[in-house]
Chains A and B, each alone.
Chain A
Amino acid sequence: MTVVDPRPAGERPTAATLTLARRVINSARLDDAALRGFLHGLPGVDEVGAKARAAGLATRSIKTSSKALALDLAISMVDLTTLEGADTEGKVRALCAKALQPEHANTDCPRVAAVCVYNDLVPVALHALRGSDVKVAAVATAFPSGRASRAVKLTDTAEAIRAGAHEIDMVIDRGAFLAGRYLQVFEEIAAVAEACRADGARAHLKVILETGELVTLDNVRRASFLAMLAGADFVKTSTGKVPVAATLPVTLVMLEAVRDWHRQTGIRIGVKPAGGIRSAKDALKYLVTVAETAGPEWLTPDRFRFGASTLLNDLLMQRRKLAMGHYAGPDYVTID
Chain B
Amino acid sequence: MTHPAATSAPGRLALAERFLHYAPAPESRSIVDIRPAYGLFIDGAFVEGDGERFSTINPADEKVLAEVTSANAADVDRAVVAARRASERVWSATPGTERAKYLFRIARLIQERGRELAVLETLDNGKPIKESRDFDVPAAAAHFFYYAGWADKLEYAGYGPTVRPRGVVGQVIPWNFPLLMLAWKIAPALATGNTVVLKPAETTPLSALLFAEICQQADLPPGVVNILTGAGETGRLLVEHEGIDKVAFTGSTQVGKAIARAIAGTGTGLTLELGGKAANIVYDDAPIDETVEGIVNGIFFNQGHVCCAGSRLLVQESIAEEVVERLQRRLSTLRLGDPLDKNTDIGAINSQAQLDRIRELTAAGEAEGAQRWSATCELPERGYWFAPTVFTDVSQAHRIASEEVFGPVLSVLTFRTPDEAIAKANNTPYGLSAGIWTDKGSRILWTADRLRAGVVWANTFNQFDPSSPFGGYKESGYGREGGRHGLEPYLALATEVDAA
Contact = CB atoms under 8 A, between A and B. Distances in A.
A299 B19 contact: yes
Interface in B1-42: 1-6, 9, 12-13, 15-25
B130 interface: yes
Contacts of A287: 19
Nearest to A113: B5
B293 interface: yes
A211 B2 CA distance: 35
Given A44-B287, A46-B459, A110 B4 contact: yes
By CB atoms of chain A within 10 A, which of B4, B12, B13 has the most? B4
A316 to B, nearest CB: 13
Interface string A70-81: 101100100000
B288 interface: yes
B134 to A, nearest CB: 7
Contacts of B24: 63
B285 A291 contact: no
Nearest to A292: B333
Interface stretch (A52-60, A158-166, A173-181): A52-60
A110 B291 CA distance: 39
A296 interface: yes
Contacts of A68: 1
Contacts of A44: 285-287, 439
A49 B294 CA distance: 8
A1 to B, nearest CB: 38
A59 B15 CA distance: 22
B5 A111 contact: yes
Contacts of B291: 46, 49
A109 B2 CA distance: 9
A270 to B, nearest CB: 13
Given A73-B15, A113-B5, A299-B12, A66 B23 contact: yes
> Which of B2, B19, B291 is most buried by chain A, counting CB atoms within 10 A of its CB?
B19
Interface residues of A, number: 42
Contact of A50 (B6, B20, B286, B290): B290
A297 B19 CA distance: 12
B287 to A, nearest CB: 4
Contact of B19 (A50, A69, A113, A301): A69
B287 A46 contact: yes
A45 B290 contact: yes
B290 A59 contact: no
B229 interface: no
A300 interface: yes
Contacts, number: 114
Contacts of B3: 72, 76, 108, 110
B22 A73 contact: no
Contacts of B2: 69, 72
A113 B287 CA distance: 35
Contacts of B342: 59-61
A265 interface: no
B443 to A, nearest CB: 13
A149 interface: no
Contacts of A111: 5
A89 interface: no
B9 A300 contact: yes
Contacts of A112: 5
A62 B22 CA distance: 6
A200 to B, nearest CB: 24
Interface string A166-205: 0000000000000000000000000000000000000000
Contacts of B1: 68, 72, 108-109
A61 B343 contact: yes
B343 A60 contact: yes
B289 interface: yes
B90 to A, nearest CB: 43
Given A46-B287, A49-B294, A292-B333, A66 B22 contact: yes
A61 B16 contact: no
Tell me the interface secondary structure of chain A in the complex.
helix
A48 B459 contact: yes
Contacts of B111: none
B16 A299 contact: yes
Contact of B287 (A45, A133, A291, A299): A45
B15 to A, nearest CB: 7
A301 B16 CA distance: 11
Given A44-B285, A297-B16, A64 B290 contact: no
B425 to A, nearest CB: 21
A135 to B, nearest CB: 11
A6 interface: no
Given A72-B1, A133-B5, A43 B16 contact: no
Contact of A64 (B15, B23, B289): B23
A68 B291 CA distance: 34
B18 A49 contact: no
Contacts of B130: 59
Contacts of A297: 13, 16
A298 B134 CA distance: 30
Given A48-B460, A68-B1, A297-B16, A110 B287 contact: no
A112 B4 CA distance: 10
Given A44-B285, A111-B5, A299-B12, A53 B343 contact: no
A82 B342 CA distance: 38
A33 B2 CA distance: 50
B210 to A, nearest CB: 24
A69 B15 contact: yes
B246 to A, nearest CB: 37
Contacts of B439: 44, 46
B293 A52 contact: yes
A76 B5 contact: yes
A67 B25 CA distance: 11
A110 B19 contact: no
B290 A63 contact: no
Contacts of B20: 291-292, 296
A63 B23 CA distance: 6
Given A65-B23, A110-B3, A110-B5, 11 more contacts: A44-B285, A44-B439, A45-B289, A62-B22, A66-B19, A67-B23, A73-B15, A76-B5, A296-B17, A297-B16, A298-B16
Interface of A: 43-46, 48-50, 52-53, 59-70, 72-73, 76, 108-113, 133, 253, 256, 287, 291-292, 296-301
Interface of B: 1-6, 9, 12-13, 15-25, 130, 134, 285-291, 293-294, 333, 342-343, 439, 459-460
27 contacts: A43-B285, A43-B288, A44-B287, A44-B439, A45-B290, A46-B459, A53-B290, A59-B130, A59-B134, A60-B343, A61-B25, A62-B23, A64-B23, A65-B23, A67-B23, A72-B3, A73-B4, A76-B4, A110-B5, A133-B5, A253-B289, A291-B19, A291-B20, A296-B19, A297-B13, A298-B16, A299-B15
Which 5 A/B pairs are nearest by Cβ-Cβ distance? A49-B290, A299-B16, A296-B16, A61-B25, A43-B288
